[in-house]
């Protein structure tokens, strides 16, 4: 009888001890590879289609310094083995087996930010995306037109087509996915702005609104001047007067522009020289933000057809050439 009790009690005690040990282990921080910290967490990528055993092996081999058999057993016993999602995850010191599995089952992938800035041109946009160490570079060696085709906009000119914003993406996401997200955002913002256009606007399409918005973006960073500048350009478009906007000329010069806009540049005819050609340039010259988009479609009602920079970020507006020349003397020539 005593032997029978031992045969029953001892396994029960061992099972209880094992269960207690397992519960204790689930709450303990997992040892991570040397160098892992809160600022630089351990990054682990789980490939699509990975089994629970493969996930455990991947974690153990990638720096979660715990026997894979323990991790696999936990995944199976938890009942969440089939819930684990593929992706790139980050693990900081202090993570426990319980929180690790929760992160994997919820698909809480590592996120990074990339910012596109108002006023950037396509070269600057692509440079920022290509320079990001957090993205998988699937656009290297591709021309802007090839990139537009890749993200679903074949034949569309890339300039001005990416909305300036901060985008949160999973670590190691394709660079093209950021551009696609930004292009879709611009398409949506532009459509929304065009729906709210002033019926009296001389603009004939949303694309023309985007071109004008890009010029406004480059002409001023002052919120209070945007709609007034839009009003000046709208007035000029109505009467067939040339826009004579320096940022468009500079854009047309491309990498030849050395920071000094010369008289010869204003006289050299290009598709973007608004001193030699009437109407809007053929494409945007930069990526405009919401404020510039709305200014383009809702210009201020003004009689001004001239403006000149005051040198402090604001502009002086004039209704006549005489007033404009006086403003040039005062603010540009300093006489």
What does each of the 335 residues of the chain score in pLDDT, given as a tens digit?
A: 555 554 554 455 545 555 555 567 788 999 999 888 988 899 999 999 999 999 999 999 999 999 999 999 999 999 999 999 999 999 999 999 999 999 999 999 999 999 999 999 999 999 999 999 999 999 999 999 999 999 999 999 999 999 999 999 999 899 999 999 999 999 999 999 999 999 999 999 999 999 999 999 999 988 899 999 999 999 999 999 999 999 999 999 988 888 888 889 999 899 999 999 999 999 999 999 999 999 999 999 999 999 988 888 889 889 999 999 998 888 877 75
Measure the CA–CA gap between 77 and 97, rounded to whole angstroms.
Answer: 12
71 touches 60 (CB < 8 A):
yes
Measure the CA–CA gap between 322 and 320, rounded to whole angstroms.
Answer: 5
**Which residues have C-beta within 8 Å of that of residue 239, sequence separation ≥ 6?**
305
**pLDDT, position 9:** 47
**pLDDT, position 312:** 84
**pLDDT, position 10:** 46
**pLDDT, position 310:** 87
**pLDDT, position 53:** 96
**pLDDT, position 257:** 87
Closest to 299 in 3D by CA, of 312, 317, 281: 317
């Amino acid at each position: 009888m005593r032997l029978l009790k031992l045969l029953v009690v001892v396994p029960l005690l061992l099972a209880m001890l094992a269960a207690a040990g397992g519960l204790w282990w689930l709450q303990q921080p997992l040892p991570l590879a040397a160098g892992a910290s809160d600022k630089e967490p351990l990054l682990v990528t789980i490939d699509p289609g990975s089994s629970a055993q493969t996930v455990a092996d991947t974690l153990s081999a990638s720096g979660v310094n715990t026997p894979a058999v323990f991790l696999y057993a936990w995944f199976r016993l938890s009942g969440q083995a089939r819930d684990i999602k593929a992706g790139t995850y980050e693990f900081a010191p202090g993570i426990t087996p319980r929180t690790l599995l929760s992160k994997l089952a919820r698909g809480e992938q590592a996120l990074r930010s990339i910012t596109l800035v108002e006023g950037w041109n396509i070269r600057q946009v692509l440079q920022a995306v290509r320079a990001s160490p957090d993205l998988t570079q699937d656009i290297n060696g591709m021309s802007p037109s090839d990139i537009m085709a890749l993200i679903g906009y074949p034949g569309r000119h890339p300039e001005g087509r990416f909305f300036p914003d901060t985008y949160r993406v999973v670590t190691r996401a394709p660079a093209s996915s950021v551009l696609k997200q930004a292009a879709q955002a611009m398409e949506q913002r532009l459509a929304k702005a065009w729906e709210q256009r002033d019926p009296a606007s001389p603009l004939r399409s949303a694309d023309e609104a985007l071109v004008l918005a890009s010029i406004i973006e480059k002409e001023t960073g002052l919120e209070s001047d945007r709609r007034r500048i839009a009003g000046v350009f709208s007035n000029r478009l109505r009467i067939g007067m040339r826009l004579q906007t320096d940022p468009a000329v500079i854009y047309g010069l491309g990498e030849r522009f050395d920071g000094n806009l010369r008289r010869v540049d204003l006289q050299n005819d290009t598709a973007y020289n608004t001193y030699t050609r009437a109407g809007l340039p053929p494409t945007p010259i930069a990526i405009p933000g919401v404020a510039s988009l709305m200014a383009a479609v809702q210009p201020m009602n003004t009689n001004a057809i001239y403006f000149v920079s005051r040198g402090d970020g604001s502009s002086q507006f004039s209704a006549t050439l005489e007033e404009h020349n006086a403003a040039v003397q005062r603010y540009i020539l300093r006489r």
